[in-house]
Amino acid sequence: MTAPDRTRPASGVPTEVPTGVPTGAPAYIGEAARIGREVLHSTGTVVVGAEGALRLALAAVLAGGHVLFEDLPGLGKTLAAKTLAQSLGLDFRRLQFTPDLLPSDVTGSSIFNPVTREFDFKPGPIFAGLFLADEINRTSPKTQSALLEAMAEAQVSAEGTTLPLTRPFHVFATSNPIEFEGTYPLPEAQLDRFMVRLRFGYPGHDGEQDIIARRLSRRQDETMVARVTTAEGLLRLQAVVESVGVDDDVIDYAVRLTAATRSHPAVEVGASPRGSQALVLLGRALAVLDARSFVLPEDVKEGAVAVLAHRITLTPSSWAQGVATEKVVRDVLGEVPTPPTVHRSEHGTGHHG
Per-residue pLDDT of the chain (353 residues; tens, 9 = 90+): 333 333 333 344 444 444 434 444 566 899 999 999 999 999 888 888 888 999 999 999 999 999 999 887 777 888 889 899 999 999 999 999 888 888 888 888 888 788 888 878 888 899 999 999 998 888 888 888 888 888 888 888 877 778 888 889 999 998 877 665 667 777 777 788 899 999 887 877 887 888 888 778 777 777 778 899 999 999 999 999 999 989 999 999 999 999 999 999 999 999 999 999 999 999 999 999 999 999 999 999 999 999 999 999 999 999 899 889 999 999 999 999 998 865 544 434 443 43
- Strand-pairing partners, residue 170, are 130
* DSSP-derived secondary structure letter, 126: T
Core vs surface per residue 45-59: b (16+ CB within 10 A) or e: ebbbbbeebbbbbbb
Give residues with Cβ within 8 angstroms of 70, minimum separation 6.
Answer: 174, 175, 176, 177, 197, 198, 199, 310
User: How far, in Å, are 32, 46, 247, 304, 342 from residue 292 at the CA level?
Assistant: 10, 28, 13, 19, 12
Q: Report pLDDT for 181.
A: 61
This prediction's pTM: 0.84
Number of helices followed by number of strands (H, E) in the chain: 14, 13
Core vs surface per residue 304-327: b (16+ CB within 10 A) or e: bbbbbbbbbebeeebeeeebebbe
Does residue 200 contact residue 71 with C-beta atoms inside 8 Å? yes
By C-alpha distance, which of 234, 136, 241, 246 is closest to 194? 136
Hey, how many other C-beta atoms are within 10 angstroms of the C-beta on 11? Answer: 19
Phi, psi (rounded to 5 degrees) for 219: 65, 25
Q: Report pLDDT for 197.
A: 94
By C-alpha distance, which of 56, 62, 6 is closest to 32? 62
Q: Report pLDDT for 26.
A: 61
Q: Report pLDDT for 129.
A: 93
Does residue 69 contact residue 294 with C-beta atoms inside 8 Å? no
3-state secondary structure of 147: helix
Does residue 138 contact residue 184 with C-beta atoms inside 8 Å? yes
Give residues with Cβ within 8 angstroms of 106, minimum separation 6.
Answer: 95, 124, 125, 126, 143, 146, 147
Question: In angstroms, rounded to a whole number, what is the distance separating the alpha carbons of residues 276 and 258?
Answer: 6
Dihedral angle computed from the Cα positions of residues 201, 278, 172 and 212, in that order, rounded to the nearest 10 degrees: 30
Amino acid identity, position 339? P
Q: Report pLDDT for 343.
A: 52
User: How far, in Å, are 184, 261, 325 from residue 269 at the CA level?
Assistant: 20, 8, 11
Hey, how many other C-beta atoms are within 10 angstroms of the C-beta on 169? Answer: 22
